[in-house]
Structure 1
């Protein structure tokens, strides 16, 4: 894959897209957490990959409406959340008031945070939108303390999940034909245009994310596709075609460690 040049206009479009989506973002399963079962599954996933908080500092990149920041705070971290969208941040501030969470407008590719200042960097559904993941991963390595860990939760929406992804995608298509679906949302074309211009325009494969993390200097890299408990909990609030569609996608967490 060839990285796109750092393109401010593309970032502006990404920011504007998510600002537009902020109004209804928390109404959708898979964005907000809708049940105690899902929250416990998220906490277990992050604890498995990040270890004990022990009063450490966490950087939540593309923090959105604060969902992951709240989970990290519940695990015991002091959290800084950065997001390009002020509209997202406004909603996050309302949800996180009184928690050990600071929220700022900021760029995941250029955080302006100090060297060696965080124990943990966490992201959810950010990497597939990045114009320049290699530069981002070098930046995340810089802000982590020696031995600090990164946890990347993301999805390849282009290529089916290994194993049963392809037949599930076919079933999802059949279920969509029987569902009474509204016309495509106004933002669908904007989303498709943005996706066509980012680094992972052909799909965000976890193996490629892992390779780029290694090139940036991370070690101890692991790919975890066992997010079933989260997906089961989310699926209770989704129609059949959406459950099948999401089950067909390659959803994963990639974790890694800064040497030292």
Structure 2
């Protein structure tokens, strides 16, 4: 009998047949869940960057990024996990050539609308940042904001980014330990108390996601959620061959407004930088 199961592995318990799921299949399933989740968050995040573009965060991010990039204009920059297009807009205003990628079609659709609305031009592509479709040594700089924590395989992503970065090029990673409180009992208690305060005051949770519970469940499965960062990132980037790595462990006061600091004070934004 031809069951068309190929090389798949099966086992039988109490008369029921089960298929053994490989590690690769688990990774593919998780990546699809991540993609599906962020497809539903595009509108929420698009509204968020509109607030940033109309407020002091716009200039604050320009100044911070400018401290770590070469002074010349027209750098070729890859914005990984561009979301609704914040970096392509502000870096386009500074005269750079920006390519923004995101794994979610809805985020890219929002990014195209926002970039056009703000009078900028950028190449915006749907692409998995762990499997880039660019030639080696294509970019002067690579930037990302709040994306590495969402990846199912951040080591592979960093390896890919190293590959497409030109020699001497810069990598700037902005992120936070957003869900470490799920694994740290002391931090978890502080987080619970802070969230109760936020709900009483603002009628919302700390993270303004479209589906908070779905995000919480998914975040428990993500590779970086229980890691102590930015130390993990520094170690990883050194092993990959970057010639110089550095970190600022808290850039909160540089880029967040008063509300952002109140909401996310327990998970400060950090910067990890590296040079190839």
Structure 2 length-normalised TM = 0.78
Q: Which residue of 1 aligns with 2:264?
A: 246
- The answer to whether the Cα contact below 8 Å between 2:251 and 2:268 also exists between their aligned partners in 1 is no
Pair 191,159 (structure 1): closer, same or farther in 2 beyond 3 Å: closer
Query: Deviation string for 1:177-216 (max 9, x for gaps)?
Result: 6436258976222212221222112146111111111111
Alignment check: 8 A CA contact 1:47 1:75 kept: no
Provide closer, same or farther for how the CA distance between residues 176 and 119 of structure 1 changes in structure 2, counting only shifts above 3 A. Answer: same
Once residues 58 and 105 of structure 1 are traced to their aligned partners in structure 2, the CA distance between those partners, rounded to angstroms, is 16
Counterpart CA distance in 2 for 1:105 and 1:15 is 11
Rounded Cα–Cα distance in structure 2 between residues aligned with 1:180 and 1:125: 23
Partner of 1:71: 90
Q: CA separation in 1, counterparts of 2:108 and 2:43?
A: 11
C-alpha RMSD of matched pairs (Å): 2.7
Q: Are 2:212 and 1:188 equivalent residues in the alignment?
A: yes
In the alignment, the residues of structure 2 paired with residue 99 and residue 135 of structure 1 have an alpha-carbon distance, to the nearest angstrom, of 31
Q: Take 1:89 and 1:199, find their aligned partners in 2: how far apart are those partners?
A: 24
Alignment of 1:91-170 (within 5 A): 91-97=110-116, 99-159=120-180
> Which residue of 228, 231, 247 corresponds with 1:223?
247
**Where does 1:230-241 land on structure 2 (aligned, <5 Å)?**
230-231=255-256, 233=257, 235=258, 238=259
1:170 Cα deviation after fit: 7.7
Q: How does 1:12-27 map to 2 (within 5 A)?
A: 12-27=32-47
2-structure distance, mates of 1:36, 1:28: 11
User: Is the 2:173–2:271 Cα contact (8 Å) retained in structure 1?
Assistant: yes
Find 1:56's aligned residue among 64, 75, 81. Answer: 75
3-state secondary structure, aligned to 1:109: coil
**Separation in 1, partners of 2:252, 2:199:** 28
2:28 equivalent in structure 1: 8
Partner-residue secondary structure (3-state), 1:92: helix
Gaps of 5+ in 1: none
Do the aligned residues in 2 keep the contact of 1:168 with 1:244 (CA within 8 Å)?
A: no
Q: Which residue in the other structure is 2:5 paired with?
A: none
| Structure 1 contact 221–254 (Cα < 8 Å) conserved | yes
Q: What's the TM-score, normalizing by structure 1?
A: 0.83
From 198, 205, 209, give the equivalent of 2:222.
198
Change (3 A) 1:141 1:21: same
- Give the Cα separation in 2 of the matches to 1:229 and 1:115: 33
Choose 113-122 or 20-29, whichever is displaced more: 20-29
Aligned length: 243
Unaligned runs of 5+ in 2: 1-22, 182-186
Q: State the shift of 1:150 in Å.
A: 0.5
- Is structure 2 residue 111 aligned with structure 1 residue 89? no
